[in-house]
Structure 1
């Protein structure tokens, strides 16, 4: 698709929190927070002509490599929120995108995401084939106070659950969607800490994709989770609470 007439390098997208997105306490689920960020990023890419549909002409797609979220306060059911997003860096096969969630003038959540261009046939990274010079880069504007961290996956983990990837876990790129990894880990986390909104921040590192009917293991060491397949780590999550 061509670049939209209303494209801007900084996008502000409004959303209303619905009941399907909330925990029983009425506050937004951490997974749905990530979905809002993912959907806003997708909207901005579509307006700027580098969406999934545009990239599929070259057998390409964006895949998430790292994500950090810092939470000041969670929105709740019926809140009207604005997600603001911009590109912090974009070069060759990689891009850093920043996102912030607001209610009015209050910043509720900050997020930094690191993406790679992925060939959907070879399943390997490659340089972005589409023009992107019309995106203004805001290298000096950050959405989080602390940058990405490399999560220590060499520590001793305890196996807490085994599962098989289902069709409902997959997205349009034909692998488990990035938010599913978080969902699997949080389903093994203490419910009272989620319901009391104790999580202050979390980092996610995506190392290898998992696909339909893959057998995976969910492991934990206190505040750190990992997901592995055939003995190799595919994902790591580190929580601060």
Structure 2
């Protein structure tokens, strides 16, 4: 599995190439083990499981530790086989020795990804995203009051959310509405989209609820540098909670 943010409003140079380098680990975990079962029902615990592999790379109190190491993840649950399949991507190697041995259904499988992308390259992809829209704060709210993020719950709205991030050839890396694009384009009619169960966290994170949707399809690279940025940094919100990783092959 193969599975950085441009801000220029001028069209990016479609020529040239960009190199994507990362490490990915597939963790096959026993969903019946308490260590794994807790991660399945608590999004914050899943985040801790992912971050447990990267102790010591940055100071414990360093803000944005996840983004500094470009840590992204995604997971699927096979309830019939009682498996949690967790993919973790990062720009630094991980150490998974802290996971209880009994929680591992199989030894961790680690890959080094080193791939060069050029304009016109095609890649099949899968991503799980947190599709949300922002509602501005009501009139009369105090200055700098943040708006409210509301999840999209209908597949057609999720498809529109993703379409805004596509980048047709010759278009800039930032859309007219300020959305960061992904350096690739796709036939939206051929995208496969599936709404996934929401994940949440109990106390002390009672307000944490993450809407999720899975998108699969084929992308054509239009802006290699921006495309590699999207692969490295992910897309959308909730990247700390296993959303936004684009896996390509």
Tell me whether the two structures share a fold, i.e. TM-score over 0.5: no
Which one has a bigger Cα radius of gyration? 2
- Which structure carries more strand by proportion? 1
